[in-house]
Structure 1
Amino acid sequence: MSSQEVKGTCCQDHPDNTVERFCTTCTKSVCKKCVMSCYKDHHDMIGMSDAIEAFNKQVTEVIRSAEDVKQELENTFHSIMDDKADFESHVKMIRDVINMHKETIVSKVEEETKKLLLDLEDVCKQRNDAIEGQVKELESHQMEVQSLKRSSLETMNKPEKTKTLDDINTNIHAVNQNIKEMNSRYSSCGNNLKPNFTFNIELDDALTKGLGEIASVDNRFILDKDDRSITVSKEQTFVVKAECLDKNDTCKVAATLITPSGEKTATEVEDMGNGEYRIKGRCDKVGDWKMEVTAGVAHFKGTPVKIKVEPIGLVQTIAAHKHIEYKISDGVLDSDGCLLVSSDCNELLKFTKSGEFVANIKLAQNAMISRMHNMGNGHIVYSDIQRKMVVMLNNKFEEHTQFGKGILEWPMGLKVKNEVLYVADIHLHCVCKFNVEDGSMLGKIGFQGAGKFHPYDITLTRGGHLMVTDRSHHRIQVFDANGTLVKILVNKGKEDGNVLYPCAIVTDMNENIIISSMNKLQLFDRNGIFLKRINDFNDALKNPAGITVISNRPQMIAVADKDNSVKIFNY
């Protein structure tokens, strides 16, 4: 409506007058009389054109808001319809798959049924043929006996027919013998023939468990891709990560372990907050397990988790002696996932985890490798007891840097952390520290002086503590970042839980500690509490040297044994 049209409009309070202005205090159009009244009361008034323009802007905004809401409603409607169509399409697809699966099974069952019935008919034919032959033979003998009987009657009252009667009697006995032979013959090859049906247990098992399973899956709930199919050791505690994309969802998450035989047991679910969950599990039997993860009635995307449970103990032996004459000393994983095995010479052997030989790698002519460490950046460092130093190799196994030349005397175990190289030296009776960048020596850890301390191997905790195998004193010592002795972690002893001549020490992903000593491999927690012995007396572990962790799921280590083999254990 234009300002001209409004001015021609009658005032609500004075119908004889037309409106002149707009009173924002009264929020109405007013005539000349109203203006005077509003003016006396100090009301705010504006021109009609300004009032109309301002009001129309508000109307336009309201209309625009209404259009936005309308569009949002339409979008929501279309989204619902699209979801409905997608759901129906998905249901149709599953229905088609179920029917196809049914048809496949029915077709297979019909085919197998036809074959079985044909086999049954063959057995019936064999039996019927045997019976028919027996009946024909009996009928022939029956006719012969009837004939002999008539002949016997004809000799009645005729003593002169004695010889004839004797012949008849002989023939009767012959027929009787034939009947006995026939019964014996058919008894052994025909009369005892009966069909037998053996059930296919696998098919019966499949039909008992059903053709499959329908489960509701909510795509907001997902399992980590790496956790949807896992391999673990028997009795290994593992963690599966799950997430709810709707951080505000309050559904209760539950998890159930299913044994190979189908038994179900609830397992622990930890709510980490912000829609994240950690599900702990432990399988006490070897075989194929599953784990269902649900939120209310809905299954997580990626469930059920397929869990392959492997036996613990020695699972493989790699015969390194077939490829090298020298004693092997250590092993590490290369960047390509293969296992590098060192020896008391200038050669590295390379194997796949399955034990297949890959390559023989030559190093410096006079090198003699004791221990190795993969730095994780494509470089490997090794202690060289022949040249009395530590060498860093690049990703082409070429010498890149040398450490401790002129300082080290008998370098053994070594590790790198935070750009610091730690080297255990038996003859120096300490652990030496070097700067990885420039090779400079940073200091020493341990007691000085002969007979005080014989560090053989080392490892570092996540907290920065240094654990050292003191070989001659049969113990494991722990030092803090400043080199101060914190405690004796493991003491001397023949029994499990103690060590004699500890050789190698490593930590796994769970901060558990693995120690080789004499002919034993032992597992401790991070506080030095004995958990179990990894090897068995029948594993033929002669004198284990270097250890490397090659897998977390399943928990697996490779041990360089002095019988020139690499033994791989699940633990």
Structure 2
Amino acid sequence: MRKVRLLSNNINVITAPNSSTTVYCIHNIYEYKELHQENKMSKEVPRRCQDHPDNNLQLFCANCNKSACKKCTHFMQCYEEHDAKPIWNAIDAFNKQVSNLVELVDDIKQKLEGVYNSIMDDKVYFEMHVQLCRTAIEAHTDAIVRKVKEEGKKLLLDLENVCKEKTKAIESEVMELESHQQQAQSLKRLITETTMNKPGNTRTLDDYMRNIDDVNKNIEEMQSQNDQLYPKKVTPTFRINTKVDDAIVKGLGKIVCVDNKYAIDKDDKAITVTEGQTFAVIVSSLDESNRCNVAATLIKPSGETTATDEVKYMGNGEYIIKGRCDKEGDWKMEITAGVAHLKGTPVNIKVEPLGLVHTTDTIGDHKVENKYCLSDVQLDKDGCILVSSNSNELLKFNQSGEFVENIPFSHNVRVNKMHTMGNGHILYSDTEGKRVVMCNDKLEEISQFGKGILINPWGLAVNDKTRVLFVTDFHAHCVVKFNVDDGRLLGKIGSKGEELHYPRDVTLTKEGNLMVADWGNHRIQMFDADGTFIKTLVIEGEEDGKVKHPNAIVTDRDENIIVASINKLQLFDKNVLFIKRLDGKNDGINSTSGISVISNRQRKLIAANLGENNVKILNY
């Protein structure tokens, strides 16, 4: 073994015996360039064979890790059996490995520089925000001090005005008092000079007595006024504003660390819900692989805190936070990732009370023809409420219950039930023409279905995926299926046997099954899309959880089921378990003919209230 030659504190060069091969041990990645230069120069120096000094080394065996000239007979067997190659080829191959190593070190250096730059950028970003916070604190403090001083000046000015008014009043009273004193002194002098020792001046003495009585009356009146205007021991008092004191005690604000790697969904930064409604807030990480300890706390209007229902990691850096607010008012949700608050928090949550919100005018007050009754309600694409009444016109109201306009049809129709399409088109059942019509938002007819097939079309539902239109035919006791794009008849449901009796309305489940308001049989029936009966969902009865003459049925985003029947509006969950009544004792809801969910985050419903011939808007 040849001696180890130490090039530096970080790179050792070792030469194997009987070989010109150099092995490098690299201890510092930043000195690879010098090593690479030396290795390059080594190729330019001819290497001599140890056994034949006159000959250059010409062969290298990778198996034996030996080099030799062609005269080395002991090497010939190795040359024949092993992978011996010209030494310059071996040197080139080895140098390529060294070059690859150099490239790897270059990559490492670039990565380290990238990490360093990222750290420095984070440092600069952090220091910038520290300075922003410092500036904001100073500005906020100066503003408060300035405001406090201004308020103090106003208070001192008010105090000075009180002093001036009091001083002026006292000076006026003193002047009046001095006037009475002078009058009394004059009377005393006159009485003494004109009546003393003069018994004959009795009449003069009587005049003086009347003058004295007048002075006494003036003094008594002055005292009375003084007692009324300025009661005894009245002093100015400074009444402290406890809100300012409370702000000073709790502090001007607080410093929080904000995690900018997370973003709250744009639709969740400020939300409106109803009392007791479970809602969800979505939080996503900008780095989808990032996962941190995300936590959330609800803050009540009173300032008290309560835990959220659930924080669930959905994968890909996304979290869903579920909460529920049990009282109306302005709530907040504070969200943290580890110890840091998320940018955009706290989330503002407005909680509205349950029950009736608005009631429209009587529908007949705005109709051209007042002989037809209220039949259905739907939400228009502009957010207003469309109202049909088995006539050739629609009424429009805003969501506060205020009348907007009357929209007449250009042709003779009687609009019963309606269904709004995703593209803004409207389907309606025309009891006059015994058909279903599709129109645009200007109520211009686009196409029609069922002419000559339907007897009394009523409720409507469309499966957007299969493009099937379902129509309840009230007098034919069935649900008729059409292709909504070309109007082809696809079949009938319930026409065989006694499954349906005067069906009024139809809606679809998430799976595509039909739920039918079977008005004549007093029940809610379920069929699959092909018409096979599945089961009865709700049976006949007067008590809650049962129905009598169901008129309308809809579902909301959470797959809850809402059923309107005679004198009852009920909410069921997706498993058809009764939750609660939506109508109240004093809200005037009576015999609802049509219902529509107009908001899911804030669960809001509109109901065509046939009993009072108006529309009810309520939170549920």
- Per the normalisation by structure 1, the TM-score is 0.88
- Give the Cα–Cα distance (whole angstroms) in 2 for the partners of residues 377 and 504 of structure 1: 24
Deviation at 1:113, TM superposition (A): 2.1
1:98 counterpart (123, 137, 145): 137
Matched, 1:560 2:608: yes
Asked if 1:183 is matched to 2:231, the reply is no
The residue number in structure 2 matching 1:393 is 439
Who is 2:515 aligned against?
467
RMSD (Å) for aligned C-alpha atoms: 3.5
Contact 1:19/1:29, CA 8 A, preserved across alignment: no
Q: Is 1:373 aligned to residue 373 of structure 2? A: no
Deviation at 1:352, TM superposition (A): 3.3
- Given the superposition, is the C-alpha separation of residues 341 and 141 from structure 1 closer, same or farther in structure 2, using an over 3 Å criterion? closer
Superposed, 1:122-161 pairs within 5 Å as 122-135=161-174
Tell me the equivalent position of 1:476.
524
Alpha-carbon deviation of 1:551? 0.6
Corresponding residue of 1:76? 115
Q: Map 1:162-561 onto structure 2 (within 5 A).
A: 180-192=220-232, 193-197=234-238, 210-267=251-308, 268-319=310-361, 320-324=363-367, 325=370, 326-363=372-409, 365-417=411-463, 418-446=466-494, 448=496, 453-561=501-609
- The alignment-based identity, stated in percent, is 55
Aligned amino acid, residue 92 of structure 1: Q
Distance 1:408 1:41, change over 3 A: closer
* Structure 1 residues 461-499: Cα deviation after superposition (integer angstroms, max 9, x where no partner): 112221111223322222233423333222223333222
For residues 362 and 274 of structure 1, what CA distance do their matches in structure 2 show? 52
| Separation (CA, whole Å) in 2 of partners of 1:397 and 1:463 | 31
Structure 2: distance between partners of 1:39 and 1:3: 26
2 CA distance for matches of 1:506 and 1:299?
40
CA drift of 1:297 comes to 0.8
1:570 matched to 2:615? The reply is no
> Cα distance, 1:506 vs. partner?
0.7
Residue identity opposite 1:462 in structure 2: K
Structure 1 residues 469 and 170: CA distance shift in structure 2, 3 A: same
Task: Name the CA distance, whole Å, in 1 between partners of 2:443 and 2:175.
Answer: 90
Question: Relative to structure 2, which stretch is displaced further, 508-517 or 189-198?
Answer: 189-198
Q: Which amino acid aligns with 1:235?
A: G
Change (3 A) 1:448 1:50: closer
Distance in 2 (CA, whole Å) between partners of 1:200 and 1:428 is 75
> For each residue in 1:237-290, what CA deviation from the matched residue of structure 2 results, as whole angstroms up to 9, or x when unmatched?
111122234444453221111111111011121222333222111111111111
Summarize the Cα distance change of 1:209–1:252 in structure 2 as closer, same or farther, 3 Å threshold: same
Q: CA deviation at 1:56?
A: 3.0
Q: Distance in 1 between matches of 2:334 and 2:425?
A: 42
Does the Cα contact within 8 Å between 2:390 and 2:431 map onto a contact in 1? no
- Residue identity opposite 1:552 in structure 2: N
Residue type matched to 2:617 in 1? Answer: I
In 2, are the aligned partners of 1:127 and 1:190 still within 8 Å (CA)? no
SS in 2 for 1:539: coil
Q: What letter corresponds to residue 138 of structure 2 in structure 1?
A: N
The answer (yes or no) to whether the contact 2:78–2:84 under 8 Å persists in 1 is: no
- Mapped to 1, the partners of 2:221 and 2:609 lie a distance apart of 74
Contiguous gaps of at least 5 residues in structure 2 = 1-39
Quick one: structure 1 residues 26 and 160, their matched pair in 2 at CA, closer, same or farther if it must change by over 3 Å? farther
Distance 1:200 1:502 in 2: 59
Structure 2: how far apart are the matches of 1:47 and 1:161? 169
- Output the CA distance in 2 between the equivalents of 1:451 and 1:6: 103
Q: Which moved more, 1:107-116 or 1:460-469?
A: 107-116
Q: Which stretch shifts more, 324-333 or 257-266?
A: 324-333
Bigger relative contact order, structure 1 or 2 (CA pairs below 8 A, ≥6 apart): 1
Going from structure 1 to structure 2, the CA distance change for 1:151 and 1:161 (only over 3 Å counts) comes to farther
- 1:115 corresponds to 2:154: yes
Aligned counterparts of 1:174 and 1:17: Cα–Cα separation in 2: 155
1:315 maps to a residue whose letter is V
Q: 1:465 to 1:191 in 2, by over 3 A?
A: same
CA distance in 2: counterparts of 1:446 and 1:453, whole angstroms: 9
Q: 1:259 to 1:208 in 2, by over 3 A?
A: farther
SS of 1:215's partner is: coil
| One-letter amino acid of the counterpart of residue 316, structure 2 | N
Number of residue pairs the alignment of both structures matches: 567
Shift of 1:144: 8.0
Residue 123 of structure 1, CA deviation? 1.0
* TM-superposed deviation, 1:556: 0.7
Alignment match, 1:24: 62
Q: In terms of mean alpha carbon deviation, does 233-242 or 438-447 score higher?
A: 438-447
Deviations 1:495-531 (A, max 9, x none): 3322222211111111111111223221111222221
Relative to structure 2, which stretch is displaced further, 552-561 or 128-137?
A: 128-137
Q: Secondary structure at the match of 1:114?
A: helix
CA spacing shift, 1:188–1:478, aligned 2, 3 Å: same
**Do the aligned residues in 1 keep the contact of 2:63 with 2:83 (CA within 8 Å)?**
yes
When structure 1 is superposed on structure 2, of 140-149 and 366-375 the one drifting more is 140-149
Give the match's secondary structure for 2:551: strand
Distance 1:161 1:76, change over 3 A: farther
Could you say if the C-alpha distance between residues 205 and 315 of structure 1 is closer, same or farther in structure 2, counting changes exceeding 3 Å?
Answer: farther
**Distance in 1 between residues matched to 2:404 and 2:443, nearest whole Å:** 15
Does the Cα contact within 8 Å between 1:512 and 1:526 map onto a contact in 2? yes
Q: State the distance in 2 between where 1:185 and 1:3 align.
A: 121
TM-score (norm 2): 0.81
Gaps of 5+ in 1: none
User: What's the CA shift string for 1:393-429, capped at 9, x where partnerless?
Assistant: 2344222222221121111111111211111112111
Question: Whole-Å Cα distance in 1 between the matches of residues 44 and 609 of structure 2?
Answer: 105
